[in-house]
Amino acid sequence: MEQKKLCVIGDPVEHSLSPVIHNTILRHAGLPYEYGRVQVKAGDTEAFLRRAVREGYAGFNATMPHKTALVKLADELDADAKLYRAVNTVVLREGKIRGCNTDGRGFLQMLAESGISPQGRTVLVLGAGGAARAIVLKLAQSGAARIFVCNRTLSRAEALAEEFPAQITACPFDQQTLSDCALFSDLLINTTPMGMTAVADQFDSLAFLEQLPGGVPVCDIIYSPPETPLLCRAKELGHPTMNGLGMLIYQAIFALEEFTGTEIDAAAMMPSVKAALREAMGG
């Protein structure tokens, strides 16, 4: 049976673990698709989209810097892509270009796997970039009572707060504010690159974690390293912790369901996917 083509596009893209995740799932599910990486520079999004249609791709995922550009290029958008104004999954079917976003759903599913519901929670979110937007807006939609978004560029947090002003509060990113917000929070999420391997910019201090009430879950969407300094300190203080690997896997599973029109048993796939990722990441 001829294999249909899928891929992830981005710049850079060589570091992407998407092919490892997708091909592992496709192989175990017996689905006739192959998934690769294609480097596409900023400004070349539309040209690649035309090529994908011409070459018979079933679809593709998009990472930076293409997520925003694809919004205007799609014939239709799912509800999350409209809300986030960003597309990470493009389905090419029956001559139509459908833009989707699976990031928020992937994050919520990761929380659910750990028995965490956003309903009624006060959440402290560090950062206001693209990942933060998907996470914050999905948390607001899912019933979070209050979300503090702390960001160094306050205007970005303020723009995010405008979407759900009754629930989202924009805050500056300084030690006093972080400590004040932590006191009232029952879930903390880092969406910044601070703590990521090979990123020079790091937290000035993690003292704000000491203000979190006991037992509050701490999540860092970074997955390399598997345990960031933020998560190490949170664990020392007795907090349950999780990294972003679950979000990465679940958003890929939801994307594959969009591409293939097939429901995927995530629980059955998890052991194989995590094993493949450990091997790919050298651990």
Environment class of 1 (CB within 10 Å of its CB; exposed 0-12, middle 13-18, buried 19+): exposed
**Among candidates 137, 136, 173, which has minimal Cα distance to 155?**
173
Environment class of 151 (CB within 10 Å of its CB; exposed 0-12, middle 13-18, buried 19+): buried
Q: What are phi and psi of 146, to 5 degrees?
A: -150, 140
The CA distance from 7 to 251, in Å, is: 14
Residues 4, 5, 41, 67: which is the catalytic one? 67
Long-range pairs, 213-216, Cβ under 8 A, ≥24? 213/183, 213/185, 213/186, 214/238, 214/239, 215/239, 215/240, 216/185, 216/186, 216/187, 216/188
Instruction: Output the tens digit of pLDDT for each of the chain's 283 residues.
Output: 578 999 999 998 988 899 999 999 999 999 999 999 999 999 999 999 999 999 999 999 999 899 999 999 999 999 999 999 999 999 999 999 999 999 999 999 999 999 999 999 999 999 999 899 999 999 999 999 999 999 999 999 999 999 999 999 999 999 999 999 999 999 999 999 999 877 888 999 999 999 999 999 999 999 888 999 999 999 999 999 999 999 999 999 999 999 999 999 999 999 999 999 988 887 6
The per-residue pLDDT for range 89-107, each reduced to its tens digit, is 999 999 999 999 999 999 9
The CA distance from 101 to 107, in Å, is: 12
The single residue listed with the structure tokens 């974690």 is 209
Strand duo 218-220 + 241-242: pairing: parallel
DSSP 34-53: EEEEEE--TT-HHHHHHHHH
The per-residue pLDDT for range 160-186, each reduced to its tens digit, is 999 999 999 999 999 999 999 999 999
Question: What's the pTM?
Answer: 0.93
Is 67 an annotated catalytic residue? yes
Strand, coil or helix: 135: helix
